[in-house]
Amino acid sequence: MSYKQLDSPITAKLCNLLVEAEYGDLASRVFSILARHGRQTLAGIVRASYFNGRQIKLGLVVLVQQHLVFYSSTDQRVTYYEINWHQAYALVRIGKVLTLAENRFGKKASNLLSNLITLGHARIADLKEAYFPSSAEKSAADDHSDDDDDDDDAADDNPDDSRVNGVNSSNGKISDVQLNGTRGVERRKSSSSPPEDAKPILNLDNDLEASYLNGYPPTNASTTESKVPQANGAVDPTNSANDDEPENDWVQSTEELYATIYHLMRQGWIIKVDQMQYLSAGDLDAMARKEITAEEFPNRPLTGPKDKTRLEIATVQRKRRYREQWLQVPYFESQSDKRKAAGVNEKASKRLKINGTYVSRSESAHSVNSTNGTAYPEDDLVIRLNHEKVAVAMRTEQLTRLVQHRLGFSTAQVYRTLLGILEVNLARCYEEWPDPVPPPQDGIDVQVEPHFLVTARDVAEKIDPAIDLLDGLDPKAIVKHVGNSKVVEDTRLDPPINPFQISRDEKTKIVDVHMQLLQSDPFRFVIWYSRAGYSQWRVDFEKIAKATIELEIENTITARKGPLGVKLIRALKKKGKLDERQACNTMMMSAHDIRGTINDMVVQGFVQTQEIPRVDRREAKLSIHLIWYDLQRAREKLLYDTYKGMVRIMQRLAFEKEQVASLLQKAERTDVVGNEAKYLTKRELDALRKWKDVENKLLLQLYRQDELVATLGDFLGPLVTI
């Protein structure tokens, strides 16, 4: 979950546009009613709209299935509905989620996450049935297709229309099985997911987009997407497929489906669905407080500040416990069978926990057999995408691009590898429910958990061997650690050093040089911790996130008011509250030069004002007028302006689409797709090409705005204003 201004009218408008683009008019109408009126019952929603109860229920079904609405029943007779703002805004990141997943885990995992996003959540058994229909389902589907020759011909012409994993075969075609009330349909193209034509435009940093399971891209980029992610977190090198075989991009067996789901759960990208996830923040807090009060204070009321503090701390800890239970990876019987087949002995006394119920392994193993394979206990597990992990991956990409801009490509790849190692152990960007911070004590060093520390040896072992680690380094620093070369003319090594044939120890030392560059940067991308593993490093994400927020605010002020505006906020940040005379002395400028800039920035919301009367009468000439700068308020203002820009982009996209609605309706016909040159005139082809160009530019700008929203709102919690 992220900290954003999600209760403002402009944000409600943005989320409503995203819901309308993704799920249609009915769902967006119900969503807009809840956005305007807040927490409502079904009867309240009906009263606030011109829809009947049946229509409202149909819209709520879609919103609840996609986790766009919280619901709770404090009274058994009444259910309250409330908008999940974070999930609603996450609709804009659908294309980005799939790109990040494909770069890390391959095409198969990306397709699986695409299906989960389409369905909202799904049982593993339903996914398995959709990917690999049973013989009875297939025979029924064949009989149905024989009765309808027209549909059969259309299916022959367009074999992609009935795919889940993209394979129109016995293991790829979706049958008519319903997945949690929603038929498994292929995800439609919308404003929140980039079209195929947009991919070359949106891939701005192609060399930086390839971070994989072990933290680095493979040397052979053509075989990357076909490698199968295994349950132990490694990529099977023997499973590299040929690019000429597109079916290798799709899940081929139930064992592979189980392994992909299991690996994504271990990486934190998929979590279990729990009933408490449908509770709003207020309902979850009330439930936790009620449980704590019943356990800790059963027969007496709360008295005094100590009891209240104890209740607050226990409530926060209880909510964290709820959340950590969603992230626990249950025991997968299918993965146990694979390990047993490989000769690994498992203890028969272990028990697995699925959906809160413990089942002994002897009771659950291989109880049901069918043509679709063995039914495992994990088949009843309901799963969904974890958007908190997506924010962690987005932070990795942004920090890597920032390092490349400041320190070069090789250092950026070293930093990407380091962040990839840490990413496995990071469930979220920041803790939403922290414990009270104890006061600092002199003489005690900061204690960091071991899994948040990375050594230079770890990075050297996991970084891509195809990366030239000597690129961008000072030759004098290179000759201190590698070979017997000498520096000639301050820029050239004689004899030259082959960066791909250096030893392991030399590579570790070179990685340590890159780490020192990262530490010496003003952003302090890494911090030295100890000498373990040649050198051990940690990352202070909170300080880096705060620095990036300040950088974005200064870039915005520079674009609006020039260097003078940045000079003003830096002076206010250093000196605090100043009046006009003190501001002039600090900036060494006249009042005439800075007065206009101050007024403009006050109007824009980046600088705050305060009036302090000198006497008991409130007169302007008898008052002190102070100006001051608050990072949190400037952050919220810029975030609000970014949401407003995204709304305008969505509105422009809808307007441009309406202009060519008839042409798009014709171009999306099944007989026209792939045969545009045959069925469309030259004028229609030109109009279609222009529309795609406009759509790509608008979507590209939308994704850039989302990057700014992530920097301002997702990577760091609310800052305390002093």
Residue with token string 């979220």: 428
CA-to-CA distance for 306 and 314, rounded, in angstroms? 12
Residues in the chain predicted with pLDDT less than 50, given as ranges, are 1-5, 150-247, 340-371
Helices then strands (H, E): number in the chain? 29, 19
Q: How many Cβ atoms are within 10 Å of 703's Cβ, its own excluded? A: 19
CA-to-CA distance for 460 and 506, rounded, in angstroms? 10
Q: Return the closest-CA partner of residue 8 out of 91, 85, 87.
A: 85
* Amino acid (one-letter) located at 261: I
Token readout for 63 is 């919103």
SS3 74: strand
CA-to-CA distance for 417 and 414, rounded, in angstroms? 5
At a CB cut-off of 8 Å and minimum separation 6, what does 145 contact? 151, 152, 155
Does an H or E element contain 285, and which? helix 281-296
CATH fold for domain 9-83: Arc Repressor Mutant, subunit A (1.10.10)
Q: Return the closest-CA partner of residue 637 out of 702, 569, 567, 722.
A: 569
Q: What is the pTM of this model?
A: 0.80
Would you say 418 and 537 are in contact if contact means Cβ atoms under 8 Å apart?
Answer: yes
Token readout for 531 is 């000498």
CA-to-CA distance for 257 and 235, rounded, in angstroms? 15
Print the SS3 string covering 168-191. CCCCCECCCCEECCEECCCCCCEC
pLDDT at 238 (0 to 100): 34
pLDDT at 534 (0 to 100): 81
CA-to-CA distance for 477 and 695, rounded, in angstroms? 48
Would you say 372 and 254 are in contact if contact means Cβ atoms under 8 Å apart?
Answer: yes
Q: Give the orientation angle of helix 591-604 with respect to helix 541-561, to 10 degrees.
A: 120
Print the SS3 string covering 189-201. CECCECCHHHHHH
CA-to-CA distance for 351 and 344, rounded, in angstroms? 17
SS3 385: strand
Q: Return the closest-CA partner of residue 699 out of 107, 8, 18, 12.
A: 18
Q: How many Cβ atoms are within 10 Å of 603's Cβ, its own excluded? A: 9
Burial class (CB in 10 A: 0-12, 13-18, 19+), 328: exposed
Bridge partners, 69 (sequence order): 83
524: left (phi over 0), alpha (psi -120 to 50) or beta: left
The answer to whether the bond into 495 is cis (omega within 30° of 0) is: yes
Buried b (16+ CB within 10 A) or exposed e, 533-547: bebbbbbebeebbbb
CA-to-CA distance for 579 and 671, rounded, in angstroms? 71
SS3 454: strand
Q: Give the orientation angle of helix 541-561 with respect to helix 631-659, to 10 degrees.
A: 70
Q: Where are the alpha helices (DSSP H) in 532-630?
A: 541-561, 563-575, 580-587, 591-604
Token readout for 689 is 């090409």
CA-to-CA distance for 110 and 209, rounded, in angstroms? 14
CA-to-CA distance for 636 and 632, rounded, in angstroms? 6
CA-to-CA distance for 610 and 499, rounded, in angstroms? 60
- How many residues does this entry show for the chain? 722
SS3 143: helix
Residue with token string 């356990």: 295
CA 335-336-340 angle, 5° bins: 120
CA-to-CA distance for 612 and 42, rounded, in angstroms? 50
Domain ranges of the chain: 9-83, 91-269, 388-539, 544-629, 635-714
Same-fold call for 9-83 versus 544-629: yes
CA-to-CA distance for 156 and 153, rounded, in angstroms? 5
CA-to-CA distance for 66 and 274, rounded, in angstroms? 14
pLDDT at 136 (0 to 100): 52
pLDDT at 141 (0 to 100): 54
CA-to-CA distance for 709 and 6, rounded, in angstroms? 12
CA-to-CA distance for 342 and 360, rounded, in angstroms? 23
Buried b (16+ CB within 10 A) or exposed e, 176-197: eeebeebebebbeebbbbbeee
* Amino acid (one-letter) located at 173: K
CA-to-CA distance for 706 and 91, rounded, in angstroms? 11
The CATH class given to the 544-629 domain equals: mainly alpha
Dihedral of CA 688/689/690/691: which sign?
positive
